[in-house]
Amino acid sequence: MKLLKNTRIESAMFGTHSKFIEGSISVTHHCMMVLDEDYDVVRALLVGTEILDFKEQMNTFL
């Protein structure tokens, strides 16, 4: 993820290939995996940049 490019936080993205099948209707979710110790920092970055909105915050699985 570009947001984490200049950090030392490693992440893995899942579901990116489904975007080609989905087109522009945005019904599939993309998932990002980070280490447990980086979770709070990454979550704060995503909320702070409004990439993760309030509704998505409520649906986040821990």
Q: What is the pLDDT of residue 46?
A: 80
- Going from N- to C-terminal start, the domains of the chain cover 34-62
Q: What is the pLDDT of residue 60?
A: 56
Q: What is the Cα gyration radius of the chain?
A: 12
Q: pTM for this structure?
A: 0.57
Run means of pLDDT, 10 residues per run, the chain, 62 residues: 81 71 62 89 82 58 47
Report the 10 Å Cβ neighbour count for 42: 19
Angle at alpha carbon of residue 31, lines to 33 and 17, rounded to 5°: 120
Q: What is the pLDDT of residue 37?
A: 94
